[in-house]
A and B are shown apart, each in its own frame.
Chain A
Amino acid sequence: MRLKIEGLSKSYKKKKALDSVNLFISNGIYGLLGPNGAGKTTLMRILAGLIAPDEGRIEFDGEDVLKNMDKFRYKIGYLPQEFGCYKSITVEECLDTIGVLKGIRAPERKKQIEQVLAEVNLSNEAKKKVGALSGGMRRRLGIAQAMLGNPAFIMVDEPTAGLDPEERIRFRGFIRRVAANRVVLLSTHIIEDIKNNCDGLALINNGKVKQFDGFEELENMAKGKVWKMVINSNDFYKIEGKYKILSTNTNADNNLEIRVYSEEKPSEDAEAVQPTVEEGYLTWINA
């Protein structure tokens, strides 16, 4: 299964939310990384059929999505950034309604609801009212509803926001399992989620998208620009004012071991180091 996006643009009044976006995604989990307001949600909403692009083309498995949106809707699982449901209905009722809207028939629907609830660890809460769920549980319910109906294309917008570390790990395992035969687009600004989950990634900023072949390519964006230095803790403010400090670590001598981003070698004793994904991301964003 393949998702192909060509020349996708969307403007809100004078602001370009998406600027000729091109993406090619095949089976597996694909990360969409970008700062807040970069255009991630706009891209997601276009793919979910909620808004229309100004121009461009989207193909899923060779089929024109924009022309056949009604048909495509049956293939989508979508978790928006903010998900909720009527507080007075139960978790099961919520999933059942979505299952019906997705066209899943009765016996199969019940089976799938039980399955997804187990996957997101909400089986015990099935009879609870949505209003009684915690924020994390509600997020898991959102994930569960997106998985209903075995959609070929799943979009999840900030899926792990609000989940505790254990749930986050559980989610990663779950998403990995469901991604086997489908395309999963995971939009986030948490690099860890991308690093630990995704088979590929694209960065988005100011409506422009850059697709990377792998994490190495992104890391290499920062090659020769990340330096490790050991400084006296008193000099921290001096350095901070001059360079972008990426991380700090106190060593045994009570000195600070810092990683800084700089186009040039910041000092004589600075040592060039292998950049991380996060550092590659920062380099691209700031480029």
Chain B
Amino acid sequence: MMVFKKILTLETKLFIRKYYLIIPMFLSFLYMFYGYCIMKDRLDNFSFIRTSGFVMMVLTILSMCFGVINARQDKDAKFEEVLDTLPSTWIRQMAKVFTWSVCSFVYCLVLAIFCTVWVDNGLNELGKYALQVAPYIFVNFYMPMVSTWLIAYSVEKTFNPKLGWPILLLIWYVISPIKNGSSGISLMLNQFVEEPHGNPHLLHYGLEMNIGLLSRKLWFLMFGMSVYIFANLFRLERRNLRNTKAKIAGTAAILLFIGAIPLAAFSTKYHSQGKMRYLDFGIWNDKILEQAKERFEEKYCNGRIKLLHLELGDSKGNLLEYYAKINIDNIKNEPVIFTLYRSFAIKDVKINGTEYNEFVRDRDWIIIQDPPEGEAEIEINVSGRLSYALGEVTDRTLLLRPDFPWYPILGKHKVILPVLTYDYLTNNLSNGKPYDIVLKSHRGNVITNLSCDIGTEFKGQATGPAVIQGDYENGNIGGIHFVAPPSIYYSYKEYISIVPDLLMKYRKEFEDSVGIEADYNLCDKYNKVFLVNLNGSMNGSILVNQKELYLDYSSWLYPASEDGIRRSCEFLRPMFILECFWRTGKYMESSVAPCLFPSLIEIAETGEKKDLEEYYTEWWGEGKEKQIVWENDLNDIYEIERLVKAESKDEVSKIAYEILRKWITVNKSK
């Protein structure tokens, strides 16, 4: 212990005297401080750390320099020969590593404290931020700093600089994200964040920490440790390798090396929430897809929901558990059917306080065969997981939209609709009348569509509950309930009122151009604008539900300006019109309409057929006609054929509008 302490003190003194390397380390604090102070209103709470991947890269270079200098100073001082004759060789080597570990730990601790304080300007939620910032810094900064030091020290000890330094440069290059490779191997080797700029789809997620990231850093650390031990063993003579300590060290090095292999293999897979979104299409098995194409008779709703009481449980990971109490009246002597997506299991059902086991769970439906007439209180415990394409449930984020049946929706509805060209989209199932909803969260603070608050208890009226959780700002901006990641929120809050007005204008223009008038379920004004993470969802970058607009925030990352907002809205216009006039909750047996609706708007407006002709020809290629799902589709195709054959722009425009008018699922009263 005495030796360990002494070497630790000595090495620390030597470290402190390397001011030329310490100064750049401290400059990184200034850089981060500058970033937070100057840009605090323009960045979300974690964006600056997440985008500081280059600081991380500089720190690994500095760690390598420290490793090389540490190895060289023994050689240059010609002290090593004396030290090697003395006892405690291994303790000395361990103390050296420990010293660097302590120094880099102190650096990371200071950085973590600073970043937590800077992130949490008001110091109100220090604990919440510290729990994310500290692990993020220790995994992403600390572990590579120690690993690169170990490797640099070992290489410098073992090789001549003419060979050693190019090796180190190569190692740094290999572990850096500069290669921009997407293979499993380059993912495994990348010791920095997955993307140096951070993942733009994870703004709301906070600082990402996953088991893959940890294992990627850990295998490299273990590899670095084994290299360090091997390098020290290499310096020992054959005879010295036979002593007990050398044998223990050798065994440890081999075990570390072997232990690093499975971790390295494990880290070749994506574990990032951002990437998983793209990869998670496992839900689309043939059975589900065939069922989506089956004919379906929409059942009327027996009863009317008076009150929906939801309590979200404190389940971890991507498991969603909740308790639902549904008060229904007007029940007739017929089965009551709820639509609840099939990935959710029903634990138990109670009707008016009595356990009820005779319910049927069939696909996306819960059927209560013999409900009491009049009023009933139905209690259900639900638990299940959602694919990213359908909603978001992670450790600290939620995106549960009212249009998707993650909660029991009264009536028998079809959840997934087929779209021509093998695509699918979710049906909007919440376009009924608003009802009372009480929502309690045991998963921490959430945002809902029930009020403009952030909290755990909500009461309000809506056509269905929306639950949003994550690093979001939430507020009432001139009567608009605006939700967005902090950086976007502060950037756009001055301009956000433009969005509902602009979209309303588009809607009116479209109504006029197809000659219809908005029916009852189109609202007068959108008063909820939720810039959330729709990335990976089946319906693209905009979803409309009554007065609620759900927009994918990744399209709103650039600094706000009126022109920019107009451009974004213009880009969203076709999908927005599809949302307003086709995906309205009304069940339509058409797989052509959702596919061509947005393109047809453009064709109708410009009179240009674009690539429709080519597209149309392709449908009739070998086996392609099988894509057509419904009988109605054939009529639609013939309409498209008519459009393809049209010659003048006026004719094209006229036919396109006619088709659109036919496809529209809202009341065409004009």
Contacts and interface: CB of A to CB of B under 8 A. Distances in A.
B87 A100 contact: no
A214 interface: no
A100 B3 contact: yes
A70 to B, nearest CB: 6
B343 interface: no
Interface stretch (B5-13, B131-139, B393-401): B5-13
B110 to A, nearest CB: 24
Given A50-B237, A83-B79, 8 more contacts: A50-B81, A52-B240, A84-B79, A88-B13, A89-B10, A98-B86, A101-B88, A142-B82
Nearest to B17: A88
Interface in A32-87: 48-53, 66, 69-70, 73-74, 76, 78-80, 82-87
| Most chain A CB inside 10 Å of its own CB: which residue of B7, B76, B85, B245 | B85
Sorting the interface of chain A by its residue count into under 10, 10 to 19, 20 to 34 or 35 or more gives 20 to 34
Given A101-B86, A102-B87, A93 B10 contact: yes
Given A49-B240, A101-B92, A83 B82 contact: yes
Contacts of A69: 239-240, 243
| Most chain A CB inside 10 Å of its own CB: which residue of B2, B81, B82 | B82
A102 B86 contact: yes
Given A69-B243, A93-B10, A97-B6, A50 B85 contact: yes
A101 B73 contact: no
A173 interface: no
A101 B77 contact: no
A70 B87 CA distance: 6
Contacts of B88: 101
A145 interface: yes
Contacts of A98: 82-83, 86
B255 interface: no
Contacts of B17: 88
Contact of A86 (B77, B81, B86, B243): B77
A135 interface: no
Given A51-B237, A52-B239, A97-B6, A73 B87 contact: yes
B299 interface: no
Contacts of B73: 86
B87 A101 contact: yes
B78 interface: yes
Nearest to B86: A101
Contact of A73 (B13, B76, B81, B86): B86
Interface string B62-92: 0000000000010011110111111110001
Given A97-B7, A101-B92, A89 B85 contact: no
Contact of B83 (A66, A89, A101, A142): A101
B22 interface: no
Contacts, number: 82
A78 B85 contact: yes
B92 to A, nearest CB: 7
Contacts of A78: 81-82, 85
A49 to B, nearest CB: 6
A88 B20 CA distance: 14
A14 to B, nearest CB: 18
A11 B631 CA distance: 92
A96 B2 CA distance: 12
A90 to B, nearest CB: 10
Contacts of A100: 2-3, 6
Interface in A126-152: 130, 142, 145
A52 B238 contact: yes
A97 B10 contact: yes
B82 A80 contact: yes
11 contacts: A52-B240, A70-B87, A76-B85, A78-B82, A80-B81, A82-B78, A83-B78, A86-B10, A86-B73, A86-B77, A98-B82
Nearest to B238: A52
B14 interface: yes
Contacts of B2: 100
A142 to B, nearest CB: 8
Contacts of B84: 49-50
Contacts of A87: 77
A48 B87 contact: no
Nearest to B14: A86
B85 A73 contact: yes
Interface string A84-113: 111111000100111011110000000000
Contacts of A76: 85
A100 B1 CA distance: 10
| Most chain A CB inside 10 Å of its own CB: which residue of B7, B81, B92, B237 | B81
B182 to A, nearest CB: 46
Contacts of A66: 239
Contacts of B81: 50, 78, 80, 82-83
Interface in B85-109: 85-88, 92
Nearest to A130: B77
A103 B81 CA distance: 18
Interface string B244-266: 01000000000000000000000
Contacts of A88: 13-14, 17
Contacts of A50: 81, 84-85, 237
B77 A85 contact: yes
Contacts of A102: 86-87
Contacts of A85: 77, 79
A143 to B, nearest CB: 12
A48 to B, nearest CB: 4
Contacts of A74: 87
A52 B237 contact: yes
List the 3 closest pairs (A to B, CB-CB), nearest first.
A52-B239, A84-B78, A52-B237
Nearest to B18: A88
A7 B61 CA distance: 50
Contacts of A52: 237-240
A29 B427 CA distance: 98
B86 A89 contact: no
A73 B243 CA distance: 14
A96 B86 CA distance: 13
Nearest to A100: B6
A97 B9 CA distance: 10
| Most chain A CB inside 10 Å of its own CB: which residue of B2, B76, B92, B245 | B2
Nearest to B245: A70
Nearest to B75: A84
Given A83-B78, A86-B77, A101-B3, A48 B85 contact: yes
Contacts of A48: 85
| Most chain A CB inside 10 Å of its own CB: which residue of B73, B86, B88 | B86
A51 B237 CA distance: 6
B78 A80 contact: yes
A89 B238 contact: no
Nearest to B76: A84
| Most chain A CB inside 10 Å of its own CB: which residue of B13, B14, B77, B92 | B77
A49 B82 CA distance: 11
Contacts of B83: 98, 101
Nearest to B235: A50
Contact of A89 (B13, B76, B239): B13
Contact of B79 (A49, A51, A70, A86): A86
A123 B638 CA distance: 106
A50 B87 CA distance: 12
Contacts of A86: 10, 14, 73, 77, 79
A101 B13 CA distance: 17
A84 B77 contact: yes
Nearest to A77: B85
B87 A103 contact: yes
A72 to B, nearest CB: 10
Nearest to B241: A52
Nearest to B13: A89
Contacts of A80: 78, 81-82
A93 B12 CA distance: 13
B240 to A, nearest CB: 6
Contacts of A70: 87, 243, 245
A254 B170 CA distance: 72
